[in-house]
Amino acid sequence: MTTLDELEWFVVLAETEHMTRAAEKLSVAQPTLSRALGRLERQVGAPLFDRVARRLRLNASGEIMLEHARRSLAELAAAGDRIATLRDPDHGTVRLAFLHSIAAGLTPEMLRAYRSHAPGVVFELTQAAGHEIIEHVRAGRADLGLTAPRPDDDELAWTGLYRQQLCLAVPADHRLAGRPRVALSAAGTDPFVALRAPIGLRRLTDELCARAGLSPRFAFESTEIGTLEGFVSAGLGVAIVPEPRPDRAESGVSYVPLTDATAHRSIGLTWLRERPAPPVVARFADFVVERYRDRAPGTRP
């Protein structure tokens, strides 16, 4: 098996095309370098140099080997750099997956706050639906997930950050528009627009409708809350959505609070319970929990 040193030796030998000069540059004995080249050629099953008048000329197989050797050495160096940053909570990488519905509010607010606290930290971001976030975390593609509702998975730890009220979104000229509160059963004759299963908000929508004794007719199913609100504004139906910030409300939509006390969803931070968190990830998670637990997004801590 070729060692990392031998791979580096081959690159130097390919660049100099001279056994003696390469050995001097590497500070290794020429016979040692020659034996290493022989092992590598036996391993790949082809000569990598043409021997011409005591000189070496990189051949077609050698050109291919040189390309991949350089790439492999670069990848290994990058891996070493990434591993080193894992031990440095001020300069590592945090892989964060988050819901579409908090992409324009909580997530950028959170990242902006933490970057002022630790400007050397790099974020790799993934925007996804709740069930996809869980899979990203479980598979190790994300260190942390911002999701709702709480994952039904014992392998995932979860800390609630804040409770987001759900409301009934209706067209601005709808008979229920502008009411201070409304029972969901009052929308029983209206078509609904909703997110597709198994998205978490769809599950909450189904549960609220069942509790109200409704079997709604779904006029449209989407993957984005913003799409639902746009179709409500167009008069296609009504929808159960998170209560928006005033600056995020869709024009032409009236957001009516629901009387059902369970009409809310909890946004929280999740991670794989048994996977040790690198210091950079643990510090970011602690910051998020300390700063954002039990408060509404957009308010000062």
Range with the largest mean pLDDT of 36-45, 164-173, 275-284: 164-173
- Can you tell me the mean pLDDT for 103-125? 88
Return the pLDDT at 7: 87
- The pTM for the full model equals 0.64
Distance CA 33, CA 25 (A): 11
Distance CA 68, CA 53 (A): 27
Tallying the residues shown for the chain, one arrives at 301
Return the pLDDT at 288: 94
Using the predicted structure, report yes or no on whether residue 111 has a pLDDT greater than 50: yes
Return the pLDDT at 299: 42
Which of 144, 154, 137 lies closest to 289 in space, CA to CA? Answer: 144
Beta-carbon count within 10 A of 231 CB: 21
CATH class of the domain defined by 93-161+266-292: alpha beta
| Whether domain 163-264 has CATH 3.30.420.40 | no
Return the pLDDT at 296: 47
- The answer to which of 96-110, 143-157, 246-260 has the lowest mean pLDDT is 96-110
Answer whether 93-161+266-292 and 163-264 agree in fold: yes
Q: What are the φ/ψ torsions at residue 172 (nearest 5 degrees)?
A: -60, -25
The pLDDT tens digits for 31-65 are 998 898 999 989 889 999 998 877 889 999 999 99
Using the predicted structure, report yes or no on whether residue 256 has a pLDDT greater than 90: yes
Helix (H, G, I), strand (E, B) or coil at 215: coil
The CATH-assigned architecture of domain 4-86 is Orthogonal Bundle (1.10)
Return the pLDDT at 85: 63
> Could you state, in order of their start, the residue ranges of all structural domains in the chain?
4-86, 93-161+266-292, 163-264
The tokens of 291 are what? Answer: 């700063």
Distance CA 22, CA 275 (A): 45
